[in-house]
Amino acid sequence: MEFENKVVMITGSTGGIGKACAVLYAKDEALLALLGRSTEKLEALRKELGLPADRCLLFAGDISKEAYVRKTVQETLDRFGRIDVLINTAGNGGPAALTEDYSYDAFKACYETNVYGTFLTMKYVLPAMKKQKSGAIVNTGSSSGIRGYELESGYGSSKWATIGLTKNVASENADTGVRINSVSPGWVDTKMMAQILENYAKKSGGDPAAYFSTSPMGRAGTPEEIAEGMYYLTSSKASYANGTNLVLDGGSTIG
């Protein structure tokens, strides 16, 4: 119950990994601020978690929009008085396309959610955490941002940027009491993975295996396995972890 009555903000909270995180912190009786694009999905998640409105705030919107992020953070502070944890799981997987076929709009969309959204949430949460002299932030990288994959120039490079952004911000805050880390999943059994496989299948004439293999473990990860890593990095057990990129990919990037 380490996070009992601590305030935890989660972006992409209705997605696979975000939802798994929400379940973990709800079990600890944390106060939650859940961000996502759909009001209906957010309300369904709060109902599934069994939390009353005064312990679980819902914010529907787009984290690449500065006004939305600023308002969300301020309303959370107004209601709960602090923010102890920020988990950034919102993501855009982009299309499966060769670089020359990758549309500029699709490329920008990857960066807007994966990089700009991560930047904006940290920008507006950090002042409160630094004032508290405590806090933990976990961003979502990817194995695609470590080794590179075909057909993922937008998504993969945005995850390289996210990992780098995490390390830069961690360096700035090494003596503030705020820790900033990232988790880089490999293939995880989520809606995003299903969409990527569908894109691969279209590109390869129906067989995604032309571009896809799970991991040396022979399977994809589960959202819960990734959420446990994020939970760990925000806990006191990871008190010396700052600027770390925790790779949870079943061994895909071993070599």
Give the start-end residues of each E strand in the chain.
7-11, 31-36, 56-60, 85-88, 135-140, 178-185, 245-248
**Which among 22, 204, 247 has a CA at the least distance from the CA of 97?**
204
Q: How far apart are CA 168 and CA 155, in angstroms?
A: 20
Side-chain half-sphere CA neighbours of 54 within 13 A:
0
Respond yes or no: is residue 155 known to be catalytic: yes
Q: How many CB atoms lie within 10 A of CB 202?
A: 12
Helix (H, G, I), strand (E, B) or coil at 165: helix
* Coil/strand/helix, residue 138: strand
Exposure string over 20-35, b if 16+ CB within 10 A, otherwise e:
bbbebbbeeebbbbbb
What sign for the dihedral angle of Cα 221, 227, 229, 230?
positive
Active-site option among 155, 200, 211, 231: 155
Q: Which of 128, 136, 17, 150 is nearest to 79 (CA)?
A: 128
* Alpha carbons 205 and 200: distance in angstroms, whole number: 9
Backbone angles phi, psi at 180, to 5 degrees: -125, 120
Q: Give the Cβ contact number of residue 207 at 10 Å.
A: 11
40 - beta bridge partners? Answer: none
Residues catalogued as catalytic: 155
